[in-house]
Amino acid sequence: MTVRLNKLIADSGLCSRREADRLIESGWVTVNKEKVTTLGCQVNPKNDQIRVKGRLLPKRQKIYVLFHKPKGAITTKKDEKKDAKRQTIYDVLPKKYAACDPAGRLDRDSTGALILTNDGDFIYQITHPRFQMEKVYRIRVNRDIQPDLTAHLLSGVPFEEEAKTAKASSVKILDERTLLITLVTGMNRQIRRMLMLLGYKVTSLKRIQFGPVQLGDLPPGKVRPLSVPEIKALTQKGPAKEIGKKPTSKRRTQK
């Protein structure tokens, strides 16, 4: 399997892809001791020896973690509203995860399971709509749930701005004002907007499961590494399912 040389250099953590292009064009990169200056060059990561300025290209350790996003943090590296001085998830995360990107988003007022990784292909595999990754949310609303709510959520709620219909793939009522909603789509603020159009206001929203990965009792603001079975299960096709035992506080977490 081959990849573009500039992508391999960028994925190593050495520099950005644009900087990798500059290094290639400037003659600072060799493949199997031969200087390469052509952009778009394909290399085999396993068999080819790549050097940048005479040094072997470092192998970047891939990171896959589950983060319990706390309320009030926005899912972005840089706040586009600079004057607002809003907290981002990177203000909460340990610095060693600064190079990781989130797989999807949770809005500012939402909490729960957020997967982060430095593996771009992995993010694509678990977020692209065609893979139908299920995500489960626990929602609390401001008034008693009416009997017809489940049917409306399952049949679909029209979003006129997008000219689309937003649907839940499953709904479970837990008590008078609490429900579980499973989605396989990821429209902006989908659950809040669906419920608002049906006459409900969301008072709390927590993602408790992403595909097969359960949030369990991981505390807000904490991180735990994904297990090998979880990583493999996330990239397998099919609906969400439990992997092993439910995570507990005994599982290693990181501050």
Assign residue 46 the CATH number of its domain. 3.10.290.10
Per-residue pLDDT at 82 exceeds 70: no
Residues 231-244: tens digit of each pLDDT:
999 988 544 444 44
Asked whether residue 21 falls in the same domain as residue 100, the answer is no
In the set 48, 79, 101, 107, the catalytic residue is: 107
Confidence of residue 143 (pLDDT cuts 50, 70, 90): very high
Q: Which of 45-54, 59-68, 162-171, 198-207 has the highest mean pLDDT?
A: 198-207
Asked whether residue 111 falls in the same domain as residue 180, the answer is yes
**Inside any domain, residue 206:** yes
Place of tokens 């994904």: 226
Asked whether residue 85 falls in the same domain as residue 179, the answer is yes
Q: Taking a C-beta distance cutoff of 8 angstroms, is the pair 139, 179 a contact?
A: yes
| Cα-based torsion angle of the residue sequence 4, 132, 109, 204 in order, rounded to the nearest 10 degrees | -160
Asked whether residue 110 falls in the same domain as residue 33, the answer is no
Task: Report residue 145 as tokens.
Answer: 């749930």
Give mean pLDDT, residues 128-143: 94
144 carries an active-site annotation: no
Domain assignment of residue 37, given as a range: 3-56
Asked whether residue 28 falls in the same domain as residue 85, the answer is no
Give mean pLDDT, residues 208-219: 97
Give ∠ CA 230-251-117 in degrees, rounded to 5: 45
Q: Taking a C-beta distance cutoff of 8 angstroms, is the pair 222, 255 a contact?
A: yes
Confidence of residue 43 (pLDDT cuts 50, 70, 90): very high
